[in-house]
Amino acid sequence: MAFNVTGTHGSQNFRHVPPAAMKLAPAQQVRRITRRTIIKPKVRSMTGNADRMRIVVTGATGFVGRNLVPLLSAAGAELLLVGRDEARVEAAFPGYPACAYGDLAARATGFDTLVHLAVANNDADLPDQAFRQANVEFLLHTAQSARKAGIRRFVNVSSFHALDAGNRTAYAESKREGVQRLASVDGIETQTVYLPAVHGDGWSGRLGFLNRLPRPVARALFVPLAALRPTAHVSRLAAFLLHPEADLQDEDVLLSDGQRENFFYRAVARTVDLSFALGVVLLLWWLLALLWLAVRLQSPGPGIFAQRRVGRNGAEFTCYKFRTMKAGTVEAATNEVPAEAVTGIGRFLRRTKLDELPQVWNILRNEIGLVGPRPCLPVQTQLVEARRRRGVLSLKPGMTGLAQVNGIDMSDPERLARWDRRYLALQSLALDARIVLATARGRGQGDRVADGG
């Protein structure tokens, strides 16, 4: 069974060049991958047998595998391709070493990494038990064979579908069970990598129709589609396999192109941000005035609280909120502030999230957006560092975010940073809309103060 995160393998044909004939490209390219091209990126050449990675690839005849194998080979990796039908694998990849699963333990001795792409696809017409056999039992069998071969690292490739706890399909359930069971396999390092819709020399699954269009038209249409739902160029998986993040190897990894280079996403998101901010100012100015007056009358101090926060790329900015705490309260993370510091009107404002409304000024100044990781204080150094390690500081902060609507606050910096990184990978117009709706419906209650306040 060949893995494809979007469900089908696509109809386009691929020509595979034997390793000896592969032209190696300059360095840096496999790391500096952008989502703006669907043409196979150049990858770096690795010189010297001592540094040469030895990688086993299962399910190589699927869409992801057909695009991944040439990238790994061009980067200098020694490959062993494994499939149910050895002859079929050899026919698809002339000149590459191949074997059947029954020979994996013997043939893979001395290899460094196994990347497991072989699963039952999410759109396969199979009984529930067949999904479990492929995505759980077969996964564990392959991991045990890799352990017998002495392979150090086992990379299980899964799909964003499995991240959604509300997805109760047999496919998603089996993938989640597989991850849980894989963690119990001893004697080998295991890690799961989650992918969205994957593209390479072409597209597959729901995006497969783009292959039938003229290439310029397909590329232009792909941009808004990628803004709506996350995507990943297969070279991102290649870069991860060749250059694993040593300080994050205890975490599951989500790979995607992100939206930083997607001008369509940026334009739509900024338009929505500005529309929201201007709408609040023009239509709800009376509410802003009433809330400001209520804060001033209930306790001494200013109606609006200005505080330095950490923004995009670590740059500090002044964030504005209605004051919810008594004047003179120590500047610290909210979870470190005693509950009695919160005023009566402040409790109401925090519960309804109305205290955030003055941040429309920050939106107009393009310091924050409607959706993004909540900005923290400069003194929250543990959270700042956790976000830096995971690339989260590249994002513009938001008034609400994925972590907040899932009830995760700043009291656990590492957990919050992991969820912020998840948003970095999942970021899309569709997800942003769901976060806004969840916030409007009252999901997430903001940062909790100390003593359960």
Question: Does the pLDDT value for residue 121 go beyond 80?
Answer: no
- What confidence score (pLDDT) does residue 393 get? 96
- Residues above pLDDT 90, as percent of the chain: 67
Q: Which of 80-84, 156-160, 176-180, 340-344 has the lowest mean pLDDT?
A: 340-344
Question: Does the pLDDT value for residue 205 go beyond 90?
Answer: no
What is the β-pairing status of strands 304-310 and 316-322?
antiparallel
Per-position DSSP letters for 135-168, written without gaps between them: IIIHHHHHHHHHHHTT-SEEEEEEEGGGG-TT--
pLDDT for 393-420, tens place per residue? 999 999 999 999 999 988 899 999 999 9
Q: How many helices (H) and strands (E) does the chain have?
A: 16, 13
Task: Give pairs for 408-415: CB < 8 Å, separation 24+.
Answer: 409/334, 409/335, 409/446, 409/447, 409/448, 410/333, 410/334, 410/335, 410/374, 410/376, 410/380, 410/383, 410/447, 411/333, 411/335, 411/447, 411/448, 413/380, 413/382, 413/383, 413/386, 414/382, 414/386
The 3-state DSSP class for residue 412 equals coil
Mean model confidence pLDDT for the chain: 84
Determine which helix (DSSP H) or strand (DSSP E) holds 231, and give its type and residue range.
strand 231-233
- Residues above pLDDT 70, as percent of the chain: 81
Q: At what angle do helices 413-426 and 381-389 cross, to 10 degrees?
A: 40
Determine which helix (DSSP H) or strand (DSSP E) holds 436, and give its type and residue range.
helix 429-440
pLDDT for 35-87, tens place per residue? 333 333 333 333 333 368 999 999 999 999 999 999 999 999 999 999 999 99
Of the two residues 365 and 131, the one the predictor is more confident about is 365
- What confidence score (pLDDT) does residue 403 get? 95
Residue 352's contacts (CB-CB under 8 Å, 6 or more residues apart) are: none
Of the two residues 164 and 334, the one the predictor is more confident about is 164
Domains of the chain: 19-257 (3.40.50.720), 265-452 (no CATH)
Amino acid at 192: T
Tell me the mean pLDDT in the region 1-18.
36
Amino acid at 420: D
Integer Cα distance of 310 and 427 in angstroms: 20
Q: What is the pTM of this model?
A: 0.82
DSSP 5: T
Integer Cα distance of 364 and 307 in angstroms: 17
Quote the tokens at residue 273. 């941000």
